[in-house]
Amino acid sequence: MKVLLYLENQSSMSVSGIGRALVHQQLALKENGIEFTLNPKDDFDIVHINSYGPKSYSLLKKCKKKGIPVVVHGHSTHEDFRESFRLWKLIAPFYNNMMDRLYKRADLIITPTNYSKKLIENYKGVNCKVVAISNGIKLEDYEYQKENVEAFKKMFNITNEKVVIGIGFYFKRKGIDDFFEVARKMPDVKFIWFGYLQKILTTSYVLKCIKNKPDNVILPGYIKGNVIKGALYYANCMFFPTNEETEGIVALEALATRLPLVTRDIGVYEDWLTSGVDCLKGKNNEEFVGLIRKTIDEDCAFIKQNGYKIVEERTLDKVGSKLKEEYELLLKNS
């Protein structure tokens, strides 16, 4: 069995959650001895499409014509495209239409959570099997290393300050506006938002929020490698006030580094994250302030350890095993 893992415009998508999910897929398949290619010109038995553009749809049609089973990955939903890029309201009908066309013609849809599974199953015209498989996490990449923490502290000139981090594009959907407002209420704490979006793609609302951000917020842009890993270990918590997700790889990263996760109480986390047990969930900025204070002032060892147990069930070897099972079923029934 050989699988084509396909992502349209791969280079420009590399810093996105979908780009990182593609890397995880490759590692997960390697862990389970599954041969794969990224080149659509190669021979393959199954195609696993990770994007929603015209090239992706063209590939789907070619594969359907040849009798090659098509897996479409449900990274996105109609719901999580809202409040994202500039002019998203104008773009959404075209984006959703392309997404729907791929979902309707897929032989199998894989999506990260039961929440996104239910959303996609209810889209008109989706008749194939939809299965929930996490994007997964490579735990060994998130083991503590002192030099990573020192690299982070050096970059941001940190001695013993309290630090809260957030990660994501400059999207209102990601809750960057609430990140700023909570920071404004906690001037004694340093807030750092890792991520970036070109100005031309950023909504005027978010640009205004950035212009008026409080002084205790730092926006270093997109940073990877040892600095971001050091931040995950040094910070007091990950504040992820997202309004909509299909999973959120950054939430898994926080849990993998035993960093307390403060997130919004939304549907995607309802059935696998429990507030006060493995994370802390809030509904508004007042609650977020209290929860962040809790991570600063109290011992959260219980929450940290339980959070780590969550990601132990989402390691890439386990993700790859589930992918292999679904691929084999699809080939058998095709």
Spell out the per-residue pLDDT of the chain, length 334, in tens: 999 999 987 755 655 678 889 999 999 999 999 999 999 999 999 999 999 989 999 999 999 999 999 999 999 898 876 667 676 677 777 888 889 999 999 999 999 999 999 999 999 999 999 999 999 999 999 999 999 999 999 999 999 999 999 999 999 999 999 999 999 999 999 999 999 998 999 999 999 999 999 999 999 999 988 999 999 999 999 999 999 999 999 999 999 999 999 999 999 999 999 999 999 999 999 999 999 999 999 999 999 999 999 999 999 999 999 999 999 999 998 8
Q: Residue 15's Cα: distance from chain center in Å?
A: 11
pLDDT for the residue numbered 15: 57
Distances in Å between the alpha carbon of 250 and those of 63, 84, 170, 187? 33, 17, 14, 25
- Angstrom distance (rounded) from CA 141 to CA 256: 9
Instruction: Tell me what pLDDT residue 19 has.
Output: 84
Distance CA 38, CA 22 (A): 10
Give the pLDDT confidence score for residue 209 in this predicted structure. 97
User: What confidence score (pLDDT) does residue 224 get?
Assistant: 84
SS3 state of residue 103? helix
Cα gap 40→48, rounded to integer Å? 11
User: From start to end of the chain, where are the E strands?
Assistant: 2-6, 35-37, 46-49, 70-73, 108-111, 129-132, 163-167, 190-194, 217-221, 237-240, 261-264, 280-282
Q: Bridge partners of 166?
A: 193
Q: What is the pLDDT of residue 159?
A: 92
